Structure 1
């Protein structure tokens, strides 16, 4: 064994602070990233395996009313054929101990053929007084098998806790930005319970293609043919959603996949910075021991032996960090991350799936990078003659050393400036490290305020306290007699009497079509009448609107943004938008995300029919969350060819009593506020973990990179002590320049971090609906800087102690 290896234990012991810091940095980087990646990849594997046994749909469509049999037959005959399954659902109220007010359950009949459920506890309901609930909602509210809950006013017994394969995220609507486990759940009941509890039915149909491997491009074309076939056979398509576009089914998988990219990026940055820190510290160690190295070279030692010696300590620390990091990652971190994912998403039971590439990426690659970068740094430093080492002339000379500082600055100022210039390369790496730490702190501290700001913006663009979307125009200005007649007609339409002269579908066709029956008691001006009576004040407060969904290309991705085009009253008291004289306005968020400008034509597309519309907006309105297009009802009728009296919704500050048969949804500002509560609950622990990871990383990076300044100056500090300087004065000469550099780095990194986070948010949101823009109040930016400076105070205290311990012996050593 080479005698040099005998110095290794002493090297590790005498520089315990340096190597302990490197060990902590590597351990944290490897443990957080490896544990997070294993958890994420395992969940993805669990989901993929569950889908393979769940007979998941390829796409689904929803019709205004129940689709005629001939329309469904036409769908089955499109292309190579498919299977169509009824998957009706209805949203009803749900109450119980611990359940929040205004909670709702989306009822489905027990699924046996498509989008099957996966049960964690219990079993599917077998009786009409039983129900099975989603796992996330049940866990969030402490509901277990055997508990009693009230659904649509009736008490049911919970027989099962499950997840639905097409509701991995509890999304109320496909356009929602976030899922909702607080006030929304999916549930399964028997057919009898569904018929009894559902006030209105959404006629959704799941489709499984005969060609399960059809590409997305071909599938999109196929879906357009399906929409056309339905329309040609009298069925009005309200929605058609491909599996890849169904956020309830894919949001969790997309989010987990996106997180993996973030983990890999963070791993790469941390390892890269760790490697450069190793280089800086190795350089400092070689400079500090230059005379020893010169003596060894002069004594016959080869550079390769010396190289291996200086690589040994970093390699030992790296291997120890990798081992401990993997142990922590595959135990503590993995369990924590898996728990967070499983609490937020309705995914199958978690089972660990070992991923070889995760081990390679988080352990093998970092060690290889560590060795290579340290090797290159050491080779550059050892490329000198033995005489240069003996004379301590291996430090690279730069133009900074020849800079002449103004005499008027005084000795203290010039000395501190010279310290900064002499260690500029180290401080540059310090800046990068602080920027990375600030990036983690920014996400940890600013994400929830950003969500709160987004919710505030969404509430600002919410036109009224109640926004009702209808399946068909429904007139609410009716007398009691007209409402009673309409209700009787509704009961007739629901008639299931087999002796009736008309089948239920034929009754529906007659009663809904104003052109077929002109004296229908439920129809006025071609519109059905409401079966409920509202007060004159409530009717006067309500305002009609038109709406349709179109798509427009996004700037940052190949996908399209789904937007709502509203037709509103020209002088609406709810929408504060000028649409008079045929003017068209677009929301500021839509303009920002899709590059729409006032006065320039933009192409909007109907994804169901393929029809395109060239719209040239006259104004950009609203805030960054506004993704809508606004025009008057008359302009809407001209653009889309509808009847001028047609409408599909009401807005009102007072609640309307409407026939549930015609109501698609009701949106209130409180429902928008629930997004912030849900996001806080689901992401709070993750952001806290990121925050607590950022702080020790910040301390470690600042300590390691500033320590080299003190180590390189040990000899000069000893001289100053010999000349009578007190340690407080010496500390002010060396620590204050470091303090100034850290403070400047913390403040100058904020614009860089904001630009980086803004870019990350823009690219990330290009894959999702909505426009969540970066927003960080000045107080939080100051908090980020404050945390960096507070962590530095710990480091500064350590440096002061280090300066006090510099021995006078250093000044007495012969340096020739």
Structure 2
């Protein structure tokens, strides 16, 4: 009991004496566990939100698009061992803007009404952007087949509700309108009172709920093969919303093995350095405890408890703070890109939290035991003396130089001792090198810590540089158009010629896009096929002479290399081709070939347009000429892509903040330990007449040398870490063209060096507080 009471008092005294070092240990542990538990919570929170949303809306497993669903098709789908429901789908307009119109009363893939009631419901993000609310009057445009002809119909409607639609959860594609069958028939009756319109006449989609999606998809393809009525069939793996959301969950889970691991490793190095220094400072106390009869086990448990308990405290704080910080940072991105409700209170993963906190605390305790064990082995008398620095190469070289150098002349100036011919800067530098040589392990730990910080900074800058480089390469180097648009009118090219003659545009080029299945060596993939003519000047991709070019992301997915063969299948026709070249493209991905290979087969007619002055009026005029509302400027496409990859930018700024915090903790801890262990040296220098500035210079040299070494290593590791992080965080909309600007190297180095300098400046001002008499007292 008495021994426990003594150890507790000793612990309290050591806590008070070394409170700043202990605070740094708590801080570094908190940062590591904050990230780890934060990403665990973010993954779990997002996964729960996605599963809850798709379950409540009963998202379909298969969606079958047909030209028309007749009684024959209904009879077939009704015979399946699955839930099959019908609805009408058409590309239309909402107040003149392109929209997806759905008509049905299905329980599968049903809209989630968030305000109002069903009837005429509009995606809530679209409503917000267009100032539409429940009760607003809107105009819906759609092309309807009536009899043997098609009619462009406009119907007035009153919005009855706002919704989220599971198949258009992604905000960029969420211009969706869902109309109940009764409401549609009512609207149509008002428009055409003399025609009895039945919604079932317009059915062209089947939404299916099944547990055997792959087998049923194959069966449906075989059943309707060759009859021309089946347009396409896709499952969840090819639906945009589930695909992207599953990708977000996977990316968040993979992030657990990147940043938290880096911070954990750096924290282990900091803990090792700190515990090592503290235990060596406690040699006298350890010797006293041994002399008083305390057992080796009691002493080891006492000092192991410091590391374990401190890291347990830091880990506990991080485990509580992390799930509130990281998920809420990522929540901003998720709600920007997706129409998805994320819980305000994040999910906590008990097992993950216990694992993270327990691992860090256990590591700290083990490190403390390993360091303390060497001291405990010594005799009490030996422990009560200061440790003698081990001889090493640096010290031997230093001694030889000192012997050869002429001793400075000792003189007295204005009541103080001085040395004639002394070079203070050189002496400060030699003292810094000497201190590094005496503590090589601690110096190495510091270099590793700074390396991790600078590598994280480089990664943060590299993320932004890579995204910008990908967009700049796409829109300003590989493709030099200003506006892209599809068109479906026969007089489009004549109107473009007229606009070119009037000076409204500079030039335009037309091409076709085909949606086909590419069959490669390792996989199949639905791809866009760009059918170029001979004289394409707005792209650097060369398809002349029958060349077949493929974007790298598609080629890697299919397992193809240059010279390999693959097949393009359109359902009715197949083309076996040889891959001529693989190119790195960011946004425009697919297969690029010459029109001679395909001829004038059916495809989406599109155009690239170059113009000096791009205005809304010009876009409207191009839309009118093309008969669509889909003309898009490069500026709008850039903004759209940036919105899609906003999580990447959020990660960039989060990384910067945590990297700077980590560098501050590492450098603060080192500087504090440096001053505490060199109080005798500093006091000696003050007695000899050295001013505060000269003493601080030696401390500055030491930290700056270590920071410089760590900065160089971090700059080297910056690109590989950027590549690793972005390769884990791939997004469907963009293929990353990895790049780091030279100025990013400069910024990262300056941030590290300036942080180091600022911390040393703060500590340099505290040198006057060192008591020379107490510091120079003998240990005995």
TM-score of the two chains, using structure 1 as the length reference: 0.76
Q: Indicate the residue corresponding to 1:6 in structure 2.
A: 9
CA contact (8 A) 1:568 1:575 kept: no
Q: Indicate the residue corresponding to 1:226 in structure 2.
A: 220
Q: Distance in 1 between matches of 2:355 and 2:202?
A: 47
| 2:725 equivalent to 1:748 | no
SS at match of 1:166: helix
Q: Distance in 2 between matches of 1:613 and 1:583?
A: 13
Q: 1:60 aligns with which of 60, 63, 72?
A: 63
SS at match of 1:52: helix
How far did residue 243 of structure 1 move?
Answer: 0.3
Q: Distance in 1 between matches of 2:117 and 2:481?
A: 42
> What is the 5 A alignment of 1:425-440?
425-440=441-456
Classify 1:750/1:610 alpha carbon distance in 2 versus 1 (closer, same or farther; 3 Å): farther
Q: Indicate the residue corresponding to 1:615 in structure 2.
A: 578
How far did residue 757 of structure 1 move?
Answer: 1.3
Classify 1:624/1:53 alpha carbon distance in 2 versus 1 (closer, same or farther; 3 Å): closer
SS at match of 2:45: helix
Q: Indicate the residue corresponding to 2:369 in structure 1.
A: 375
Q: Distance in 2 between matches of 1:77 and 1:633?
A: 43
CA contact (8 A) 2:312 2:360 kept: no
Q: Indicate the residue corresponding to 2:490 in structure 1.
A: 476
Classify 1:792/1:679 alpha carbon distance in 2 versus 1 (closer, same or farther; 3 Å): farther
Q: Distance in 1 between matches of 2:714 and 2:535?
A: 48
Q: Distance in 2 between matches of 1:319 and 1:444?
A: 29
Q: Indicate the residue corresponding to 1:305 in structure 2.
A: 298
SS at match of 1:715: helix
How far did residue 738 of structure 1 move?
Answer: 0.9
Classify 1:772/1:84 alpha carbon distance in 2 versus 1 (closer, same or farther; 3 Å): farther
> What is the 5 A alignment of 1:230-241?
230-235=224-229, 237=231, 239-241=232-234
Q: Distance in 2 between matches of 1:272 and 1:50?
A: 38
Q: 1:292 aligns with which of 285, 288, 291?
A: 285
SS at match of 1:543: strand
Classify 1:679/1:384 alpha carbon distance in 2 versus 1 (closer, same or farther; 3 Å): farther
Q: Indicate the residue corresponding to 1:796 in structure 2.
A: 760
Q: Distance in 1 between matches of 2:46 and 2:579?
A: 45
Q: Indicate the residue corresponding to 2:205 in structure 1.
A: 205
Q: Indicate the residue corresponding to 1:181 in structure 2.
A: none
How far did residue 255 of structure 1 move?
Answer: 0.7
Classify 1:105/1:263 alpha carbon distance in 2 versus 1 (closer, same or farther; 3 Å): farther
Q: Distance in 1 between matches of 2:708 and 2:460?
A: 20
Q: Distance in 1 between matches of 2:687 and 2:263?
A: 41
SS at match of 1:792: helix
Q: Indicate the residue corresponding to 1:603 in structure 2.
A: 566
Q: 2:605 aligns with which of 628, 646, 649?
A: 649
Q: 2:472 aligns with which of 456, 476, 494?
A: 456
Q: Distance in 2 between matches of 1:808 and 1:230?
A: 94
Structure 1 residues 278-287 or 262-271, which shifts more?
262-271
How far did residue 3 of structure 1 move?
Answer: 0.8
How far did residue 329 of structure 1 move?
Answer: 3.9
How far did residue 277 of structure 1 move?
Answer: 1.7
> What is the 5 A alignment of 1:728-739?
728-739=693-704
How far did residue 334 of structure 1 move?
Answer: 5.1
Where does structure 1 lack aligned partners over 5 or more consecutive residues?
96-102, 173-183, 478-529, 638-643
Q: Distance in 1 between matches of 2:315 and 2:110?
A: 42
Structure 1 residues 349-358 or 718-727, which shifts more?
349-358
The alignment yields a C-alpha RMSD, in angstroms, of 4.1
> What is the 5 A alignment of 1:456-535?
456-460=472-476, 461-462=478-479, 464-465=481-482, 467-468=484-485, 476=490, 534=495
CA contact (8 A) 2:671 2:760 kept: no
Q: Distance in 2 between matches of 1:392 and 1:611?
A: 83
Q: Indicate the residue corresponding to 1:242 in structure 2.
A: 235
Classify 1:309/1:147 alpha carbon distance in 2 versus 1 (closer, same or farther; 3 Å): farther
Q: Indicate the residue corresponding to 2:589 in structure 1.
A: 627
Q: Distance in 1 between matches of 2:343 and 2:475?
A: 37
Q: Distance in 1 between matches of 2:484 and 2:71?
A: 33
Q: 1:785 aligns with which of 730, 749, 757?
A: 749
Q: 2:512 aligns with which of 542, 545, 566?
A: 545
How far did residue 673 of structure 1 move?
Answer: 1.7
CA contact (8 A) 2:37 2:352 kept: yes
> What is the 5 A alignment of 1:151-230?
157-172=158-173, 185-191=175-181, 205-210=205-210, 212=211, 214=212, 219-220=213-214, 222-230=216-224
Q: Distance in 2 between matches of 1:269 and 1:252?
A: 26
Q: 1:447 aligns with which of 463, 486, 499?
A: 463
CA contact (8 A) 1:74 1:229 kept: no
Q: Indicate the residue corresponding to 2:421 in structure 1.
A: none
Q: Indicate the residue corresponding to 1:511 in structure 2.
A: none
Classify 1:369/1:156 alpha carbon distance in 2 versus 1 (closer, same or farther; 3 Å): farther
CA contact (8 A) 1:75 1:230 kept: no
SS at match of 1:751: helix
SS at match of 1:232: coil
Q: Indicate the residue corresponding to 2:106 in structure 1.
A: 112
CA contact (8 A) 2:585 2:735 kept: no
Q: Distance in 2 between matches of 1:455 and 1:547?
A: 24
SS at match of 2:168: coil
Classify 1:698/1:76 alpha carbon distance in 2 versus 1 (closer, same or farther; 3 Å): farther
SS at match of 2:264: helix
Aligned residue pair count: 712
How far did residue 814 of structure 1 move?
Answer: 2.3
Classify 1:145/1:274 alpha carbon distance in 2 versus 1 (closer, same or farther; 3 Å): farther
Q: Distance in 2 between matches of 1:321 and 1:90?
A: 56
CA contact (8 A) 2:336 2:643 kept: no
How far did residue 286 of structure 1 move?
Answer: 1.6
Q: Distance in 1 between matches of 2:518 and 2:289?
A: 73
How far did residue 651 of structure 1 move?
Answer: 1.8
